[in-house]
């Protein structure tokens, strides 16, 4: 095999390896994995396609197939040649052109590390995590059951109280999501839970339980407070990207305001008041 043949074979293999995976075909039109990723970005930007379950991917594919069927029906009716379509297309083109132009102006904005740090120091309260608590809970269906658990626990303290609480949570809590880890709810701020639950939790000291059942839409809770975490500043490097984005937006706002004035001075603008009704 000569050098050209080997190179040609290599290119063919590379193309086949990198070729997009076809998930379905709708009247001969391929629906690919890349299409699915793009579709997900437009519908749920927080989701990562590669981390979805097989069932979730199937559901997305079903929506895409349906969309392709509708698209083909629209093409069959030659909607793309209709006056309505062409009018909407012109509007979309103008909006897209403007959005791309604004994004380009944003890219020109420069924020130094010093500017970002100064903004951080000046607004440190905005970058401070509020007081949080770490709590566990036991969730049961009836108030009577919750009171029985409280009666058994209130005589205990220290490690014995915590260990017993964890054991009861594992075997009696109806919160299937958290019972295996002893009812551990992790850390949360005061507005991180329902009002009734948070108000009860925030009035407890570390290492104690609620002496009355807390009723919510889920049932009756018994709460144990494991820790109370004081407010602390979020590290500058962690919030720097958000700060840079905020400063850039402010810079862009000022720049566009100034540019608008300059363009207006050199433009011929005619306002026809009588036509404004």
If asked whether residues 202 and 69 sit together in one domain, one would say: no
**Domain, as residue range, for 115:** 109-122+235-268
Spell 146-164 as b/e; 16+ CB within 10 A means b: bbebbeebeeeeeeebbeb
- Residue 51 belongs to some domain of the structure: yes
Least confident of 13-27, 109-123, 133-147, 234-248: 13-27
Residue 163: its pLDDT value, please? 96
The CATH number given to whatever domain includes residue 69 is 1.10.8.1040
Long-range contacts of 158-161 (CB under 8 A, 24+ apart): 158/207, 161/207, 161/209, 161/224
- Residue 44 belongs to some domain of the structure: yes
- Which residue from 18, 14, 244, 10 is spatially nearest to 112, judged by alpha carbons? 244
Judge whether residue 6 has pLDDT over 50.
Answer: no
Judge whether residue 9 has pLDDT over 80.
Answer: no
Q: Where are the beta strands (DSSP E) in the chain?
A: 22-26, 29-32, 128-129, 132-140, 184-189, 214-216, 219-229, 232-233
Q: Is 25 in a helix, a strand, or coil? A: strand
**How many domains in the chain?**
3
pLDDT in tens, 131-166: 999 999 999 999 999 999 999 999 999 999 999 999
If asked whether residues 224 and 144 sit together in one domain, one would say: yes
DSSP 277: -
- Residue 9 belongs to some domain of the structure: no
Judge whether residue 105 has pLDDT over 80.
Answer: yes
- Residue 2 belongs to some domain of the structure: no
80-to-16, 23, 39 alpha-carbon distances in Å: 34, 27, 21
Q: Which residues are 233's β-sheet partners?
A: 128
The CATH number given to whatever domain includes residue 201 is 3.10.50.40
DSSP 141: S
Take residue 85 and report the two structure tokens written for it: 């379509």
If asked whether residues 194 and 141 sit together in one domain, one would say: yes
Residue 16: its pLDDT value, please? 41
Long-range contacts of 191-198 (CB under 8 A, 24+ apart): 192/132, 197/221, 197/223
Residue 53: its pLDDT value, please? 87
User: How sure is the predictor about 44, in pLDDT bands with cuts at 50, 70 and 90?
Assistant: confident
Say how far apart CA 203 and CA 197 lie, in whole Å. 10
If asked whether residues 69 and 144 sit together in one domain, one would say: no
Q: Model-level pTM?
A: 0.57
- Say if CB 175 and CB 186 are below 8 A apart: no
pLDDT in tens, 213-257: 999 999 999 999 999 999 999 999 999 999 999 999 999 999 999
If asked whether residues 39 and 166 sit together in one domain, one would say: no
Say how far apart CA 46 and CA 9 lie, in whole Å. 40
């Amino acid at each position: 095999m000569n050098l050209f043949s080997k190179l040609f074979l290599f290119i063919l293999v590379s193309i086949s390896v990198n070729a997009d995976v076809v998930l379905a075909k709708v009247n001969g039109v391929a629906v690919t994995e890349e299409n699915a990723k793009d579709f997900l970005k437009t519908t749920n930007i927080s989701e990562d396609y590669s981390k979805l379950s097989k069932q979730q991917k199937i559901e997305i594919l079903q929506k895409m197939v349906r969309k392709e069927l509708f698209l083909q029906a629209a093409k069959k009716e030659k909607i793309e040649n209709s006056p309505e379509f062409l009018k909407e297309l012109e509007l979309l083109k103008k909006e897209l052109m403007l959005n791309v132009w604004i994004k380009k102006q944003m890219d020109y904005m420069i924020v130094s590390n010093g500017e970002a740090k100064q903004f951080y120091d000046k607004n440190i309260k905005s970058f401070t995590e509020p007081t949080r608590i770490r709590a566990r809970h036991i969730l049961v269906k009836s108030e009577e059951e919750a009171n029985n658990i409280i009666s058994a626990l209130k005589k205990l303290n220290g490690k014995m109280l915590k260990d017993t609480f964890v054991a009861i949570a594992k075997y009696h809590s109806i919160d299937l999501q958290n019972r295996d880890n002893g009812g551990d709810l992790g850390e949360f701020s005061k507005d991180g839970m329902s009002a009734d639950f948070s108000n009860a939790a925030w009035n407890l000291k570390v290492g104690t339980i609620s002496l009355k059942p807390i009723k919510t839409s889920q049932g009756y809770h018994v709460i144990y407070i494991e820790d109370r975490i004081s407010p602390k500043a979020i590290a500058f490097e962690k919030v720097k990207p958000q700060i840079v984005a905020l400063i850039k937006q402010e810079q862009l706002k000022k720049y566009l305001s100034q540019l608008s004035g300059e363009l207006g001075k050199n433009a011929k603008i005619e306002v026809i008041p009588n036509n404004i009704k």
